[in-house]
Structure 1
Amino acid sequence: MRTIITADSSAELLALIPHLSGYVPRESVVVVPFRAGRSLAMLRVDRVTDDIDAFAATTIGTACRVPDVDAVVLVVYADGVLETSGARDVLEALRIRADACGLFVIDTLAVAENGWASYRVDQDPSPRSLDEIARAAPAGLLRPRDDQAGGSTLVRAPKERRRRVSAALVDTERAANLLLMQARASTEPSDEVDARAARILAALTDVATSWETALEFTSLDDDILTDERAALLLWCLARPSLRDVALAHWCHGADAARRVLSAQLEWEESGDYPAGPLFLAGEGPRPDPVRLHRALRMLRGLAALATGRSRGTALASAAWVAWALGWGTHAGAYAHAALSVDPGQRLAEIIDELSSHGHLPGWAFTRAEP
C-alpha cells in the first residue's frame, strides 16, 4: 500500500525543492521521482504553453529513465495568479502520461504569485498562502534568491588584461608553429627563441599540467590564469580534438584524457573511432561533479579574459560542462553567448540544440556513487 503525502508534507516538499536545486524554479515544471517512498532526484524543465500533450510525453519519458522510479510528484511553477496560470491543464497532461507509464502520482502541485495548491483531489482548488511553505521549511534552511538562470551572467576582464591575453595567444601560436617545425626537422630548440617563447614551448609539451592547475582557479584576482596560461588554454580549446582531450581531463583526470587522445589518434590513422562510450555525447561514467564545477568556474574566467572567436571557444566549452552537470538553462545561455561572437561554433550549436530540447547526458540517469 502506498502512502499519499498529506497537504502539510506537500508544503514541506515545496519548501525543500529550492534548497535541493539551489534555485527557485520559475515558469517551470519540476518532476520529483521516487523509488519505494524515497526521492531520487529532481528534474526541472521550462514550462511550455503550447502542445501540452507532447510536452508531457517528453517530460514523463525523461523521468522514466531514472532507474527504478515508481512514483512522482509533479509541480508547476508559474508567474501570475494561480487561477489563470494554466497549471491545472499542464498537471493533468503530465498525470495522464505518468499513469500510462505505470508511475504512481503522489501529488500534483502548483506554485504561483498568489499562493500554492494541490490538484490531487480538487481540480479547482483555492490558493493557499505561500507562508505555509515558508513555515514548513526545516529550521535553518536558507532559501535561494535566484531562479534557474541565476549565476549564468558573464563578466569581462578589464580591457588591458584582455589585450595582454590576446597578445600572449599570438605568441602561443608562434611558439606552437616553431615546435611543430622543430619536430618535423628533428632539431634542437633554437638559441634565438626568447624566454617567453621558451616557457610557452615547455608548457605545450606538458599541457596536461596546465589543465590540472587551471582547476585551482577561483577568481580573476588570483594568479592561476596568468596571461600565458590563459592563452595556452584558449589555444587548446580552439582545436576540437585537443579541446575534447582537455574536457576529458577536467571530467575524469589524466588517465581519461590519455584514453581520449589515444582514440583520436587511432581515428586519424585508421578512420575508425574505437568502439565504446562517447563521453562528449554524455555516455559512460558520471564525471566527478567537483571537477566539473571547478572547470566551469575556470572556463567562465577564460571567457572573461578572451576576445572574439577565442571567447566563443571558451563559452562553448563552458556550455558543454554546464550541460554535463545537468544545468540546461546555463548551458543554453553560454551556447547563445558563444554563437553571438562565433556563429559557426559547432560545439555551441550542438549544446544549444540539446539544451533547448531538454536532452540530458546519459549519466544524469545513472545512480551516483555513495
Structure 2
Amino acid sequence: MEKKKITARQPADVLGFVPHTLGFMPSSSVVLLSLAGGRLGATLRLDLPENGESCQLDLFAETAADYLRSDAEADSSLLILYTEQAWRTPDRPPHANLVAALGRSLADVGLPVRSGWTVGTTHWRELYCTDTSCCPLPGRPVSQIRDSALNAELVYNGSTYAASAAEAAAEPAPATSRRDHPVAGASQAESADEPSADAAFPAPDPPAALQAEADQLAEGLAGSWTSPSVFLSTLRRWEDALTANQAGSMTAQAQAFLLASLTENAVRDAIAIFACSGLENAFLWARAAGLLTEPDPRTAGEAEAEPLPETGDSVAARDLSKILVGDSPRAPDWERVDATAQLLEQLHAVGAGHARAAAGTLHAWIEWARGRGSHAHQRAEACLRERPGYRLAELVRELAASGMLPMWARRRETAWPGRRHLAA
C-alpha cells in the first residue's frame, strides 16, 4: 500500500492525530511526540504519575525523555496532557510540576518542547498560554478536535480508534507487515492503563469435541513434550499452523494439538521466541535454557529419523531469553509476530482452562512487545480474572504496568510498524 502523507496545520489537527496513531483515545495520560524539522515522529504515551513528589516526577520525566530521544532524527517535541483536572488559574496549568519536569528533561536531551496542550473531557487548551483573551478558560470545546480537517481526512481514509484503552484491547488486533503497511514515523510506544472492570474477554463454551481431543492429547503426551524430538515436532506443528491459519485452512485437529501443547510451560514460553525469532532459535533456546529432557524411549525412533538443530554458541542461544523481557535491540520478525498473534487469538477463543490462559497471556505479551502496554495490561488482567494466580499473566501484567518498553520499541527502524499507514 502506498504511504499516504498528511499535514497537520493547526493544534486541533495534531490533537486529532494522536488517538488515530495510538488506536484509542487517551485519558489520564502524558503523550509526547517527537519532531524532526516539523515532521511528526515518535508517539509516546504514559500514564500520569500517581506520585507527585519532586524526585518521582523528575525520574518520570527523565525516563520519558530517554525513551523519546531514541528517535535519532528528532530535534524538538510536543507535549499533551490528557487529564480531567480543572484548569483554574491561567499561569498554573494542571500538573504544573510535571509539566516543568518534562520541559527540563526534554531540553536536556536536545528535544525542547515546542508546543503543548491539555485535553479534558469537554475542553482543550494551549499549555503554555497565559493570555485569556486568546486562550480563554476553561479552553476550547473538544468538538473542534473531532471536527478538525486532519481528523476528517483520517476518517475518510478509513482510520478509526477506540473510545478507551480497555475498548481497544478488547478488539482483535489486525495483522500487519512492514512490507504492506509502511509507516512514515516512529514507534508507537505507551505504558499500561489502569484495568477497567468492563475490559473482560468472556470465555465462550469451547466445542466439546475439540476440548476432549485437546485434553486427550495433553494427557497422552504428558511427560514427553520436552523430549527433544517431540519438542521440535511440536514447533513444526506450530509453524505449519501459521501457514494454515493465514490461508484459512486450520483444522480442528490442529487446534486441539496446539492447545494441548500450551499445557506444557516449556512449549508455551518457547512460543514467544518462536514468534519473534523463528522455529530453530526457539528450539536452540529451549535446549540452552535446560528445558529439554533426555529423549523419551517412546519417541526414540523419531529422534533418529530427524536430526536436531545444533549450535556452537550456547551463550548466544541462552541470550535469546533477553527477548522475553525486551532486552534486545534487534527487531523481531514482525510479520511472523503478527501471524502468531492471530493464531493465538483463535486458540484463545476456542480453548479452555490452562491452554486458554496460556494463549491469552502470550497474546498479551505480544501486545507488550509491539509497544502497546495498555493493551497488554488489559489482556493480562482479563486472563487473571478467568484464571486467578496464573503466574505468567501476573508477570506480563507487572511488565506492562512498569511502563518499561522493549528496547526494539524505542527506535523507529526496529519498532512494530503498527496498523497505521497514514503519517503526519
TM-score normalised per structure 2: 0.68
Q: Which blocks of at least 5 consecutive residues in structure 2 are unaligned?
A: 1-7, 171-199, 295-312, 418-424
How much does 1:266 deviate?
Answer: 9.0
The answer to whether the Cα contact below 8 Å between 2:380 and 2:397 also exists between their aligned partners in 1 is yes
Change (3 A) 1:155 1:93: same
Change (3 A) 1:365 1:167: same
CA distance in structure 1 between the aligned counterparts of 2:151 and 2:381, rounded to whole angstroms: 38
Q: Aligned pairs, how many?
A: 341
CA distance in structure 2 between the aligned counterparts of 1:10 and 1:173, rounded to whole angstroms: 57
Corresponding residue for residue 153 of structure 2 = 140
- Give the 3-state SS of the residue equivalent to 1:149 in structure 2: helix
CA distance in structure 2 between the aligned counterparts of 1:93 and 1:29, rounded to whole angstroms: 12
Q: Does 1:116 align with 2:160?
A: no
Q: Report percent identity of matched pairs.
A: 27
- For residues 73-88 of structure 1, the aligned pairs below 5 Å read 73-79=78-84, 82-83=87-88, 86-88=94-96
- For residues 35-184 of structure 1, the aligned pairs below 5 Å read 35-51=36-52, 53=57, 54-79=59-84, 82-83=87-88, 86-122=94-130, 125-126=135-136, 127-133=139-145, 134-137=147-150, 139-142=152-155, 143-153=160-170, 155-156=201-202, 158-159=204-205, 161=207, 163-177=208-222
Q: Extract structure 1 runs of 4+ deviating beyond 6 A.
A: 266-269
Which residue type is aligned with residue 15 of structure 2?
Answer: L
CA distance in structure 1 between the aligned counterparts of 2:70 and 2:394, rounded to whole angstroms: 25
Residues 241-264 of structure 1 deviation map (CA, whole Å, 9 limit, x = unaligned): 322332222223334434434533
Q: Select 1:290's aligned residue among 335, 338, 351.
A: 335
How much does 1:171 deviate?
Answer: 1.4
Corresponding residue for residue 19 of structure 2 = 18
Which residue type is aligned with residue 58 of structure 1?
Answer: T
Q: Does 1:28 align with 2:29?
A: yes
Change (3 A) 1:177 1:259: closer
Corresponding residue for residue 270 of structure 2 = 245
User: Mean alpha-carbon deviation: is it higher for 21-30 or for 272-281?
Assistant: 272-281
CA distance in structure 2 between the aligned counterparts of 1:160 and 1:358, rounded to whole angstroms: 34
CA distance in structure 1 between the aligned counterparts of 2:162 and 2:292, rounded to whole angstroms: 47
Which protein is richer in helix relative to its size? 1
Q: Select 2:325's aligned residue among 281, 284, 292.
A: 281
Q: Which blocks of at least 5 consecutive residues in structure 1 are unaligned?
A: 1-6, 187-200
Corresponding residue for residue 224 of structure 1 = 250
CA distance in structure 1 between the aligned counterparts of 2:410 and 2:355, rounded to whole angstroms: 33
Change (3 A) 1:87 1:115: farther
Residues 104-128 of structure 1 deviation map (CA, whole Å, 9 limit, x = unaligned): 1111111112321122343874212
CA distance in structure 1 between the aligned counterparts of 2:204 and 2:339, rounded to whole angstroms: 22
CA distance in structure 2 between the aligned counterparts of 1:292 and 1:119, rounded to whole angstroms: 39
The answer to whether the Cα contact below 8 Å between 1:107 and 1:119 also exists between their aligned partners in 2 is yes
User: Mean alpha-carbon deviation: is it higher for 124-133 or for 78-87?
Assistant: 78-87
TM-score normalised per structure 1: 0.77
Q: CA RMSD for the aligned pairs?
A: 3.7
